[in-house]
Chain A
């Protein structure tokens, strides 16, 4: 390729190549900084003795013992089921009620639509953490939902960013489609189900992915709501092990790393499968919201 370039652009070409090398070096350094802790987590989870010295960074002494140790200490299966139930509950509520709200905001005229849209934007600016205290008093003390899935799901039930995303997507669809169906006398629910939703599959996938990582990764709220260990999702039970159960196993660091791998794996796998869906929407919602 470079042989075709006229001789005059020779120095420029060489400059472009060195810029390219610098780019790649910078990116490699970045990738190393981002990926090393993940690598270290996996290696640490597989070693018989997990220590912090330099030689411990290389794989060796492989054992699955740390996984059975953490399983014995915090019961991985039960914790995973709890995380799964909470996450699926949130996903169902967001996909059903969030899609309905997004469709109405984009395609239906009704009184107070502007107000509802204003609420949607406002809700995204108030961080939920700042409301944990009154929510705790209401959910745990007044409604008696402590140690229940409903109590863990409630604050996340309908992801507002996903509602915003659904609205944007329905808004981009050609209006003639909806008009034609309405003239044919189709009900709104039918239009939504048979026309809008099949076309909105990419938005539903992105909405699902961005909603998934919220409740799956969340620590503070389920930590407040669950005192009963058998109801704790994995993030909470692992954090509990991290702060006060480490004495119960022979290689505590290895056990913590094993738990961290299990907690991280589902989100990482989903991300690797649907990478583009994750990055695009987060950015879009970040800029617009």
Chain B
């Protein structure tokens, strides 16, 4: 197989007839053209446009009308960075991360470890865990709003222990409720991710440790946890990206960002400031700040994981 694959292919690929190469080259470029046009229209142009808007005073005008957009330098960025609600939204993301990351890592590691064996109903469990991940946020938010509402099942079950004001309208609990919802919705994805990582760890390490007399707990910390580190890094990156993007949850679950902006997220703020209140320049600058942040996080983690390997 390898022989037939490498032998005839190598010369053909290295010294193609010039005319043929041009033909292949043309057709390849042609095949990727629709995709490149799409990325130009949906990523490159909007990216450039948001940068441009962020350095100008920009208004929405009535269709057909034209308003001047004067250059204002960094003034939109100054507005963004000094806005208390922006600060609040970043603080909310910090709360989100503090709850979401450890909970996701802990629960998905436990569930993946439990799943990582020959068991009855294994595919049923896998399906059950994954179901929320593929279901529309709007549908799940509706159920959670009902479950965690003032007169909802959770409060009825808690009886006297139910928080007042209730979960989603409580300044201290609105953001933690969102973090809990997102953890629940995405957990199945991370369980599968850890399950894949666990299967790569290999049984011989565990057997060797057993021979050396290591207990289950010791094995978990010394073999399992380091073995799944790339998956754990991915949880952290996803959590940061998800946090930066939260919209449906604060908008729908906690009714437009919770009491006193207690669950406002940066993207919700972009919508409220940019489109509802008509300050697209402010929203554009906020968008640029977020993109830089997300790219920086992705690059840093990529560097860290490369060094780790």
A275 to B115, CA, bound (A): 16
Contact of B287 among A22, A123, A134, A219 (CB under 8 A): A134
> At the interface, yes or no: A204 with Cβ under 8 Å from chain B?
no
A135 to B41, CA, bound (A): 9
**Total residues of chain A contacting the partner, CB 8 A:** 100
Query: Do the beta carbons of B244 and A130 come within 8 Å of each other?
Result: yes
> At the interface, yes or no: B127 with Cβ under 8 Å from chain A?
yes
Query: Do the beta carbons of A111 and B117 come within 8 Å of each other?
Result: no
Query: Do the beta carbons of A126 and B291 come within 8 Å of each other?
Result: yes
Give every chain B residue within 8 A of A243 (Cβ-Cβ): 252, 255
Of A3-11, A60-68, A258-266, the one contacting chain B is: A258-266
Contact of B193 among A110, A238, A286 (CB under 8 A): A286
CB distance from B20 to the nearest CB of A (A): 8
Query: Do the beta carbons of B131 and A125 come within 8 Å of each other?
Result: no
Q: What interface size band does chain B fall in?
A: 35 or more
Q: Which residue of B lies closest to A235 (CB)?
A: B138
Q: Which residue of B lies closest to A96 (CB)?
A: B34
- Per-position binary interface string of chain B over residues 121-152, scored 1 when its CB falls under 8 Å from any chain A CB and 0 otherwise: 10111111111111111111111111101011
Q: Which residue of A lies closest to B151 (CB)?
A: A52
Give every chain A residue within 8 A of B123 (Cβ-Cβ): 275
Give every chain A residue within 8 A of B114 (Cβ-Cβ): 22-24, 26-27, 30
- Per-position binary interface string of chain A over residues 246-289, scored 1 when its CB falls under 8 Å from any chain B CB and 0 otherwise: 00000001001101110110011001100100110011001100
CB distance from A74 to the nearest CB of B (A): 12
Looking at B32, B36, B274, the one whose CB has the most chain A CB atoms below 10 A away is B32
Known contacts: A26-B110, A219-B137, A275-B123. The answer to whether A132 contacts B153 by CB under 8 A is no
Contact of A127 among B63, B110, B143, B241 (CB under 8 A): B241
A38 to B5, CA, bound (A): 50
> At the interface, yes or no: A85 with Cβ under 8 Å from chain B?
no
> At the interface, yes or no: B189 with Cβ under 8 Å from chain A?
yes
A278 to B193, CA, bound (A): 13
Query: Do the beta carbons of A130 and B137 come within 8 Å of each other?
Result: no
Give every chain A residue within 8 A of B134 (Cβ-Cβ): 213, 217, 267-268, 271, 278
Query: Do the beta carbons of A103 and B184 come within 8 Å of each other?
Result: no
- Per-position binary interface string of chain A over residues 36-60, scored 1 when its CB falls under 8 Å from any chain B CB and 0 otherwise: 0110110010000011111011000
Known contacts: A110-B29, A112-B29, A163-B35. The answer to whether A286 contacts B234 by CB under 8 A is yes
> At the interface, yes or no: B205 with Cβ under 8 Å from chain A?
no
Query: Do the beta carbons of A119 and B34 come within 8 Å of each other?
Result: no
Query: Do the beta carbons of A35 and B131 come within 8 Å of each other?
Result: yes
Query: Do the beta carbons of B252 and A239 come within 8 Å of each other?
Result: yes
Give every chain B residue within 8 A of A129 (Cβ-Cβ): 245, 247, 267
Q: Which residue of B lies closest to A25 (CB)?
A: B114
Contact of A154 among B42, B147, B244 (CB under 8 A): B42
- Per-position binary interface string of chain A over residues 161-199, scored 1 when its CB falls under 8 Å from any chain B CB and 0 otherwise: 001000000000011100100000000110000000000
Interface set, chain B 201-237, CB cutoff 8 A to A: 230, 234
> At the interface, yes or no: B163 with Cβ under 8 Å from chain A?
no
Query: Do the beta carbons of A131 and B156 come within 8 Å of each other?
Result: no
Query: Do the beta carbons of A40 and B153 come within 8 Å of each other?
Result: yes
Contact of B270 among A57, A133, A144 (CB under 8 A): A133
Give every chain A residue within 8 A of B136 (Cβ-Cβ): 216-217, 219, 235, 263-264, 267
Query: Do the beta carbons of B138 and A219 come within 8 Å of each other?
Result: yes
Query: Do the beta carbons of A134 and B127 come within 8 Å of each other?
Result: no
Give every chain A residue within 8 A of B53 (Cβ-Cβ): 133-134, 137
Query: Do the beta carbons of B189 and A286 come within 8 Å of each other?
Result: yes
Query: Do the beta carbons of A267 and B135 come within 8 Å of each other?
Result: yes
Query: Do the beta carbons of A57 and B32 come within 8 Å of each other?
Result: no
Query: Do the beta carbons of B31 and A52 come within 8 Å of each other?
Result: no
Query: Do the beta carbons of A130 and B287 come within 8 Å of each other?
Result: yes
Query: Do the beta carbons of A37 and B247 come within 8 Å of each other?
Result: no
Query: Do the beta carbons of A158 and B35 come within 8 Å of each other?
Result: yes
Q: Which residue of A lies closest to B120 (CB)?
A: A24
Give every chain A residue within 8 A of B27 (Cβ-Cβ): 104, 108, 110, 188-189
21 pairs across A/B with beta carbons < 8 Å?
A31-B125, A31-B128, A34-B129, A40-B143, A53-B153, A97-B35, A104-B29, A125-B295, A127-B241, A131-B46, A133-B275, A134-B50, A174-B1, A176-B5, A176-B8, A242-B141, A259-B139, A260-B139, A271-B134, A278-B134, A279-B130
Chain B positions near chain A (C-beta within 8 angstroms): 1, 4-5, 8-9, 12, 21, 24-29, 31-32, 34-36, 38-39, 41-43, 45-47, 49-50, 53, 60, 63, 107, 110-111, 114-115, 117, 119-121, 123-147, 149, 151-153, 155-157, 184, 187-189, 192-193, 196, 230, 234, 241, 244-245, 247-248, 252, 255, 267, 270-271, 274-275, 280, 283-284, 287, 290-291, 294-295, 298
Q: Shortest 7 CB-CB distances between A and B: which pairs? A: A110-B28, A108-B28, A104-B31, A217-B136, A101-B35, A260-B139, A134-B46
A130-B290, A137-B49 are known; give 19 further A-B pairs, CB within 8 A.
A27-B121, A35-B131, A57-B153, A101-B35, A110-B32, A123-B43, A126-B295, A127-B294, A130-B245, A131-B291, A188-B24, A188-B28, A217-B136, A239-B248, A256-B146, A264-B139, A271-B131, A275-B123, A287-B230
